[in-house]
Structure 1
Amino acid sequence: MREVLASLSGFGALQPLLDDPEIEEIWLNGDGRVHVAIGGAARQTGLQLEEAAVRDLVERMLQSTGRRVDISQPFVDASLPDGSRLHVAIADVVRGSWVVNIRKFLPNYRSLDALAQQGMLGSGAARRLSDAMNAGRTVIVSGATHAGKTTMLGALLASCAQSQRIITVEETFELAVEGPDLVALQGRQAGLEGTGEITLRRLVKEALRMRPDRLVVGEVRDAEALDLVLALNTGVPGACTVHANSATEALEKLSILPLLAGRNIDRAFVAPALAASIDLVVHCVRDRTGHRRVQEIIAPTGEVEGGRILVRSIEPAVSPPDEVGENGGTRFPVGVSA
């Protein structure tokens, strides 16, 4: 009966995997074999789907999103009804059949207390971050792919969602944040005529007209960094994620990305603006076993030296087993190890 219901109203053979609370991500390679990630570790299931079945599932997943995937648009990002993020790539960009990734955002990891219980950060660091969010501080979350950046950002927002008006800006809805005064904005792809696209830059500008207590950009990766910096310097607290290998590299990247907005943007303006507006940077990592943890938390001092933002290190939220001690109060420029 479950199989019949999944085929009629769900997502067929993938529905049991989507319902499994232990599975974090599901993906299909061009050969139709299904892989999953549990506890940060990848494993292959015994399930294999025919190309026709994969296409049917993708069409069903995209039906309610208003998004499409075809020869002219071979990639698509969309949100499933349960909040999971769908990414699809098709031939001839991909060798073989369609490639599908479904990243789930599990409800057991949507608060700082829950993350502390799972060992991602210490209880003291969780309280510090919660106090910072409720005090209207700007917090940046950095890390590599699959390090838990979006999960951490969602937990940070959950800690202040009851007291702040939050406007979120994302390419695809991923932040499963609930609150009494929250607006979630999503970008839009261009239509068949090549028109109608709505970029993150446009959304950031529109969000500022909605009286936000906190402006959130799901992920900063392009010229929208300039609009975020300008928004932060108007006194609006913010939060975002950024891909980086360390917290200091995240600040370095944020000081470079605004230059993509145009030649008239000078890093001499961007670095001091960031130093004055960002309060904390939380860096997440994932080790070889798949365990995710907060590696470091840094705070800009507000000073810039040689074009680099000076920061001080906050005690690590969770120290690795072979690492003991603190580095509190040390000031060092971006790009220099603590």
Structure 2
Amino acid sequence: MSLSTAVVTERVRARLRADRTDPSVRPEEAHRIAQFEVRRHNDQALARGTATIDDEAACVRDILAGVAGYGPLQPLLDDDTVEEIWLNGPAHVFVARDGRSERVPLALTEAQLRDTVERMLHAAGRRVDLGQPFVDASLPDGSRLHVAIADVVRGAWSVNIRKFLPRYRSLDALVRQGMVPAEVAGMLAEAMRAGGSVIVSGPTHAGKTTLLAALVAECADQRVITVEETFELGVQTADLVALQGRQASLEGTGEITLRRLVKEALRMRPDRLVIGEVRDAEALDLVLALNTGVPGAATVHANSAAEALEKLSLLPLLAGRNIDRAFIAPAVATSVDLVVHCGRDADGTRRVVDVISPAAVDADGRIGHRVLFAGGPAAEVGP
């Protein structure tokens, strides 16, 4: 941002404060004020013989990004080709496009980075400080923000913004994009509409949340309750309740865990319970809910669909000593209908790798499975 633009930005910000105009609520008025101040600056510059702002429209966009958006990061947030943005300090900015990462020629100052993060957290109603050096938050457009500050991070702040692009919100869109084969999309859509329980597995950045959101979009006639640590799914159905966890306060009180949210969700008459990510003892509550006849959907980190089943058999054991695998494994096998595994190739391409259906449990408590899709004919695995 040039010195002239910075000066005009401060004038616009002062005008907005004086007029008590919220640029996010009244964008047209903010645009009018910014345009007026840019032209006033140029009139004064011409009278004094100093440099003018040549591209008024671009300057107005920069000013509005600074006062209403998220400053230098706003163009990246507006870019539909960018899937994720991360900063290793203010001077090292990276993005991911089509699964590949690249560094962008953008550098912020420490003050700009902190100001941007504060505005993002203000919109989400969350905070980050020395007493709480990590924070997850959801931005107004559905993107997920994660921030880590010193002294848990060496040097400058670390910021990640994972965007969830609207063009990938349906199974049809994922088929066109090449992530989901058409026959698999039909199988998954039928399972969701018929009240089946589907688990989406895969490594980090494999597209699990994107696929889960597309699956839930098939449940237009169902009452859907979603449970997440931070709002990410962005599901839009007619009958929806979206629940989000809450971190503990500085006094250590007020925390709302996923386990608590799952229990509350079951009191809301769900036709389908959706857990954004299962990674702890909430797996027990999910399995118990599925065994009471409530269809479910969730994601889990795993290296294969079979490993995801194994993980769902083990995670509930974290809930307490009175839980054993002899109870959990059969419960998982009878309540989960499909496990669809996502992968990411070396070139960044995301795709569905395989789909399995749980089978019988062997004497060691391991769940067998039947392969429904793996680029070849179905096969029986396990007992």
Cα deviation 1:6-47 (Å, max 9, x = unaligned): 001000000000000000000000353110000000000000
Distance (Å, rounded) in 2 between the aligned partners of 1:305 and 1:38: 46
1:293 counterpart = 2:315: no
Residue by residue over 1:176-227, the C-alpha shift from the partner in whole angstroms, topping out at 9 and shown as x without a partner, is 1101100000000111211000000000000000000000110001010111
Which residue in the other structure is 2:312 paired with?
Answer: 254
Paired AA for residue 149 in structure 1: K
Contact 1:271 1:304 in 2 (8 A): no
Structure 2 counterpart SS, 1:46: coil
Structure 1 match to 2:139? 80
Please tell me the residue identity of whatever aligns with 1:96: G
Higher relative contact order (CA 8 A, sep 6+): 1
More strand by share: 1
User: Given the alignment of the two structures, is residue 117 of structure 1 paired with residue 176 of structure 2, yes or no?
Assistant: yes
2:330 to 272, 281, 291: 272
Cα deviation, residue 304, structure 1: 4.0
Asked whether the equivalents of residues 189 and 197 of structure 1 are also in contact (C-alpha less than 8 Å), the reply is yes
* Residue 243 of structure 1, aligned match among 292, 301, 320: 301
- Following TM superposition, by how much is the alpha carbon of 1:305 offset from its aligned partner in structure 2, in angstroms? 4.1
Structure 1 residue 332: Cα displacement? 2.4
Task: Determine which of 170, 173, 194 is the counterpart of 2:228.
Answer: 170
2:282 to 206, 211, 224: 224
Match of 1:14 in 2: 73
Query: Conserved in 1, the CA contact under 8 Å of 2:196 and 2:296?
Result: yes
1:213 to 246, 251, 271: 271
Partner of 2:114, secondary structure, is helix
- The aligned length equals 324
TM alignment of 1:299-310, pairs within 5 A: 299-310=357-368
Matched residue type, 2:147: V
CA distance, structure 2, for counterparts of residue 18 and residue 30 of structure 1 = 18
Return the match for 1:107 from 150, 160, 166.
Answer: 166
Whether the 8 Å contact between 2:124 and 2:140 is mirrored in structure 1 is no
Q: Which amino acid aligns with 2:244?
A: Q
Equivalents in 2 of 1:18, 1:207: separation in Å? 32
Structure 1 match to 2:378: 328
Q: What amino acid does structure 2 have at the position aligned with 1:141?
A: V
- Matched letter for residue 343 of structure 2: V
CA RMSD of aligned residues (A): 1.0
Distance in 2 between residues matched to 1:145 and 1:40, nearest whole Å:
11
Q: What TM-score results when the alignment is normalised by the length of structure 2?
A: 0.83
Q: CA deviation at 1:96?
A: 1.0
Q: Which moved more, 1:46-55 or 1:242-251?
A: 46-55
How far apart in 2 are the matches of 1:172 and 1:151? 15
Does residue 153 (structure 1) correspond to residue 203 (structure 2)? The answer is no
Identity of aligned residues (%): 69
- Asked if 1 retains the 8 angstrom alpha-carbon contact of 2:329 and 2:361, the reply is no
Query: In structure 1, what is the Cα distance between the partners aligned to 2:89 and 2:320?
Result: 39
Is contact 1:275–1:304 with CA below 8 Å preserved after alignment?
A: no
Query: Is 1:191 the counterpart of 2:241 in the alignment?
Result: no
Letter in 2 for 1:37: A
8 Å Cα contact 1:30/1:95 also seen in 2: no
Output one character per residue of 1:83-127: Cα deviation in whole Å (capped at 9) or x when no partner: 000000000110111000000000111111110111111111101
- TM-score normalised over the length of structure 1: 0.94
Q: Conserved in 1, the CA contact under 8 Å of 2:225 and 2:240?
A: yes
Structure 2: how far apart are the matches of 1:50 and 1:64? 22
Q: Which has the higher helix share?
A: 2
For residue 12 of structure 2, what is the aligned residue in structure 1?
none
Residue identity opposite 1:61 in structure 2: M
